[in-house]
Structure 1
Amino acid sequence: MSEDIEGAAPGFVRVRLDLSYDGKDFSGWAKQTERRTVQGELESALRTVTRSPRTYELTVAGRTDSGVHARGQVAHVDLPEDVWAEHHDKLLRRLAGRLPHDVRVWKVAEAPAGFNARFAAVWRRYAYRVTDNPGGVDPLLRGHVLWHDWPLDVDAMNRAAARLVGEHDFAAYCKRREGATTIRTLQQLSWERGADGIITATVRADAFCHNMVRSLVGAMLFVGDGHRDADWPGKVLAAGERDSAVHVVRPHGLTLEEVGYPADDLLAARARQARNMRTLPGAPAGSLAGDGCC
């Protein structure tokens, strides 16, 4: 069945799932042959609990990479009307009994008209957590916090981050994919040190291209520890090419925290808009994939 970006095909119901997972033991979201993935586990569980002879494919807001976590992930699946009618009131509890402990579905509901988990989203918000404590990372947090073994200047990182906010071509911070643009609107990039000493980067954008968040964090850390000045990340952005000095930091510090959607009556229009081509003035056209990570 081909997917209609603005709703389910006749005879099907579009169902929204809100979920979270610990990415440590997953090879990312997208299902792969002979590799354990979040999508693979969820689709298998859905097939089992609905006693269906076929697999119903999930569409997700952000296809997280191997080792990346999610607290506020959103997906949708189109189920036959009779399957939904039979199972909807028991689906959440049955999924809890079938899924492994490192992935949980928290809400299952019929989606409003025009909803598409991927294309109707207007922003994704990630958090990257790091500590510069000379003793290292709290053992209870080691799977979610990066240790950086140089003292970090949060003010300097925020000065550098401010130069990157806005709509830009982030080619210098992305792994290119053929046919996809690297133009994104970075709505927020900020750093804050908590009372526990953990420094959290909040990164929010309309969408992300591959390795974008972890590349931005890598550049900011070089500023924070004094190896580069606050102007350097902006110069890298303006150059428009990958810089070998920009490191893609490890995935375990990264968590997809939340996905934002417009009001219900604007969902279909947003889904259509996200499928359109988007460029900066004078730039070649390219499709906005809308769900790259991170």
Structure 2
Amino acid sequence: MRLRLDLAYDGTDFHGWAAQPRLRTVQGELTAALATALRLPAVDVVCAGRTDAGVHARGQVVHLDVAEPPELGSLVRRLNGILPADVRVRRAAEAAPAFDARFGALWRRYAYRIADTPAAVDPLTRSHVLAWPRPLDEAAMNAASLLLVGRHDFASFCKQREGATTIRTLEELSWRRDDGVLVGTVRADAFCHSMVRSLVGCLIAIGEGRRPVDWADEILRAAVRSSSVAVVHAHGLTLEEVGYPPDDELESRVHQTMARRRPEEIDG
């Protein structure tokens, strides 16, 4: 049986998703808990988005294969009894055999939250919202965001990995106020390393008025990473949701994704 698990976690005290020797990671905690709950020596999982150190998630998705189907409600309770408090399994479900949390995803949606006024800064959310010392113009940031939407080479906004493509389809990039906090919604088929935080860094410079709106397009078209674009802090970023096609389209989606990019080229 293939299982789908939906997870939430506070990334503050993790060195990212991916398991690393002697470092605390979300994958490491989850696989250890699964091995205990399922009484197996080891468990392999595949996630939708390999979040970086300090990045949070409300909508992370993983899949795993088990030889003997567990009772799913009991599995969720057992896992949450084993896992530390900063990781929760929100639900478990049987998935279609072709379901692939990584290659089957149509899109990933992230949110980046910024408190740019003293009234919006809440000490209780300091680990999840970036406190910015100057007010930002969301109208200018939205105008610049429109220049970045679409299928482009985002090399200017990514930490390049040898042999990996930086071509992505950015489906949505927009800003709104939520109780005074500026919230950026970023949705794409996939993201390369540090892409969202670099996009936000570029747009903050525009929102402050330090750069004109068309600077975003200028940076994009350069297709070369520039030190003038800051990579903002990880703690303002949360993986909110991952979208998948209907079950009867899963297999074709996996083939499409893998044909477009080699597996090692795809980040979260």
**2: distance between equivalents of 1:291 and 1:77?**
19
Q: Could you tell me which residue of structure 2 aligns to residue 32 of structure 1?
A: 20
**2: distance between equivalents of 1:270 and 1:25?**
34
Q: Could you tell me which residue of structure 1 aligns to residue 145 of structure 2?
A: 161
Establish whether residue 211 from structure 1 lines up as the match of residue 194 from structure 2.
yes
**In the alignment, residue 29 of structure 2 is paired with which amino acid?**
E
Which residue among 38, 52, 63 is the counterpart of 1:76?
63
Segments of 5+ residues of structure 2 without an aligned counterpart are: none
Residue 288 (structure 1) shift: 7.5
Residue 113 (structure 1) shift: 2.8
Which residue among 212, 215, 218 is the counterpart of 1:232?
215
Segments of 5+ residues of structure 1 without an aligned counterpart are: 1-12, 279-285
> Equivalent residue of 1:90, what SS?
helix
Residue 243 (structure 1) shift: 1.1
**2: distance between equivalents of 1:287 and 1:219?**
29
> Cα RMSD (Å) of the superposition?
1.4
Does the CA contact (< 8 Å) of 1:277 and 1:287 recur in 2? no
Residue 14 (structure 1) shift: 1.1
Does the CA contact (< 8 Å) of 2:120 and 2:181 recur in 1? no
Which residue among 75, 91, 98 is the counterpart of 2:75?
91
Count of residues paired in the alignment: 268
Are residues 287 and 106 of structure 1, via their aligned partners in 2, closer, same or farther at CA, if it must alter by over 3 Å? closer
Residue 28 (structure 1) shift: 0.3
**1: distance between equivalents of 2:266 and 2:188?**
10
Q: Could you tell me which residue of structure 2 aligns to residue 9 of structure 1?
A: none
TM-score by length of 1: 0.88
Runs of 4+ with >6 A deviation: none
Residue 112 (structure 1) shift: 1.2
Establish whether residue 64 from structure 1 lines up as the match of residue 47 from structure 2.
no
Residue 91 (structure 1) shift: 0.7
TM-score by length of 2: 0.97
Does the CA contact (< 8 Å) of 1:274 and 1:290 recur in 2? no
Does the CA contact (< 8 Å) of 1:181 and 1:287 recur in 2? no
> Equivalent residue of 2:66, what SS?
strand
**In the alignment, residue 160 of structure 1 is paired with which amino acid?**
A
**2: distance between equivalents of 1:167 and 1:110?**
33
Q: Could you tell me which residue of structure 2 aligns to residue 270 of structure 1?
A: 253
Deviations 1:66-125 (CA, angstroms, capped at 9, x unpaired): 000000110001112x2x24x545211101111100000011111113100000000000
**2: distance between equivalents of 1:175 and 1:91?**
38
Residue 263 (structure 1) shift: 0.9
Residue 136 (structure 1) shift: 6.9
Q: Could you tell me which residue of structure 1 aligns to residue 33 of structure 2?
A: 45
* Identity among equivalent pairs (%): 58
> Equivalent residue of 1:42, what SS?
helix
> Equivalent residue of 1:246, what SS?
coil
Q: Could you tell me which residue of structure 2 aligns to residue 55 of structure 1?
A: 42
Establish whether residue 247 from structure 1 lines up as the match of residue 230 from structure 2.
yes
> Equivalent residue of 2:29, what SS?
helix
Residue 287 (structure 1) shift: 6.2
**1: distance between equivalents of 2:73 and 2:54?**
32
Q: Could you tell me which residue of structure 2 aligns to residue 282 of structure 1?
A: none
Q: Could you tell me which residue of structure 2 aligns to residue 5 of structure 1?
A: none
Q: Could you tell me which residue of structure 2 aligns to residue 119 of structure 1?
A: 103
Deviations 1:40-65 (CA, angstroms, capped at 9, x unpaired): 0000001111121x211110000000
Which deviates further from its counterpart, 134-143 or 70-79? 134-143
Q: Could you tell me which residue of structure 2 aligns to residue 290 of structure 1?
A: 266
**2: distance between equivalents of 1:182 and 1:25?**
29
**1: distance between equivalents of 2:190 and 2:264?**
8
Q: Could you tell me which residue of structure 2 aligns to residue 183 of structure 1?
A: 167
Does the CA contact (< 8 Å) of 2:58 and 2:241 recur in 1? yes
Residue 179 (structure 1) shift: 2.0
How does 1:123-162 map onto structure 2 within 5 Å?
Answer: 123-134=107-118, 137-162=121-146
**2: distance between equivalents of 1:223 and 1:257?**
25
